[in-house]
Amino acid sequence: MKKIETNLKDCYILEPDLFGDDRGYFSPYFIQKNLNDLGFRAVVQANRSMSSKGVIRGLHFQKEPKCQAKIVEVICGAAIDVVVDIREDSETYGKWTSVLLTPDNHRQLFVPCGFAHGFISLEDHTVFQYLVDQDYAPELEGGILWNDPALGIDWEGILSEYRIDSPILSEKDLQYLPLSETEVHFRRD
């Protein structure tokens, strides 16, 4: 597996090995030892979501003591994945990155604990897959406002490039506060 650094500390793009010929390919997309080296504990839950074009999900996180690290990928359709480092002691605190995920580019994103995570679906019937290392705990879920101006996420550029007139968000995602008004206390350790 190839590990590509992003502009965020401890957050990596993963490119699983592909072995193929004219029949197709084989890819060991999940090897626990490789993920242990990233600090990913173990897969305890695998989730999938399906979204229409223009759906934004996020920016979500799960609070301690059940903070979740994630490995995310798109298995059908296309999405721009967006993550924000919200670990108070991180040199990249408040910074974000985005990655195009498609079945054709075979990319995954490793999202460490202490990051807010979201994505925008670029096509109808986009299937997004998450491997997580902690159980879902609804009482610990949280989020930050998807378009918090202080973060500077280029949503307008993404919407324009992919010809999305207006994003579709859940009521819950529309109610989150900006990072500066959110009670989160994540640390790199």
Q: Is 60 a catalytic residue?
A: yes
| 125 is an active site residue | no
Closest CA to 168 of 119, 96, 131, 117: 119
pLDDT tens-digit map of 10-31: 999 998 887 888 988 877 777 7
What strand order describes the sheet that includes 12-15? Answer: 2-5, 12-15, 108-111, 70-76, 126-132, 45-51
* CATH topology classification for 2-181: Jelly Rolls (2.60.120)
Confidence of residue 101 (pLDDT cuts 50, 70, 90): very high
* pTM of the entire predicted model: 0.91
pLDDT for 8 equals 95
Exactly one of 130, 162, 176, 185 is catalytic; which is it? 130
Return the pLDDT at 74: 98
Q: Please say whether the dihedral angle defined by the alpha carbons of residues 183, 64, 10 and 118, taken in this order, is positive or negative.
A: negative
> How much is the average pLDDT of 85-110?
96
Is the confidence at residue 189, as pLDDT, over 90? Answer: no
Write down the catalytic residue from 60, 162, 176, 185.
60
